[in-house]
């Protein structure tokens, strides 16, 4: 199965790392739902992955509103467990009939 449109919901350490890795794959259009300072950083600099003395940068489409990103092939929820209920209430604009939703959460 090929995923061309992937959305990371949550741009913390876990979501940022997964997103930076996925953004390196050819043919992937990566978007991120983020808020506050994380959103501002994504809009200004994209995703940055620092590993040793190397930094990988990836441009992404970022928004606080899932409606701005459209239906995705894959949605990865990467928020802390207490935020899951709020995410579940807001995620529907990202989900189509063939969308796969998976979690990558700590605190579960």
What percentage of residues in the chain have a pLDDT greater than 90? 63
In order of their start, the domains of the chain are 5-103 (3.40.50.720)
Per-residue pLDDT tens digits for 25-36:
999 999 999 999
Across 5-33, b (16+ Cβ under 10 Å) vs e yields: bbbbbbbeebbbbbbbebbeeeebebbbb
| Model confidence pLDDT, tens digit, residues 62-100 | 999 999 999 999 999 999 999 999 999 999 999 999 999
Q: Between 29 and 106, whose confidence is greater?
A: 29
Give the model's pLDDT for residue 31.
96
Mean pLDDT across the stretch 33-50? 89
């Amino acid at each position: 199965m090929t995923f061309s449109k992937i959305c990371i919901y949550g741009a913390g350490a876990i979501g940022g790392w997964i997103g930076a890795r996925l953004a390196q794959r050819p043919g992937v259009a990566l978007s991120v739902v983020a808020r506050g300072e994380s959103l501002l950083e994504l809009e200004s600099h994209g995703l940055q992955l620092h590993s040793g003395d190397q930094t990988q940068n990836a441009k992404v489409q970022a928004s606080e509103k899932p409606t701005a990103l459209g239906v995705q092939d894959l949605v990865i929820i990467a928020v802390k467990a207490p935020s899951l209920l709020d995410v579940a209430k807001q995620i529907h604009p990202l989900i189509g009939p063939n969308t796969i939703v998976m979690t990558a959460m700590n605190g579960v």
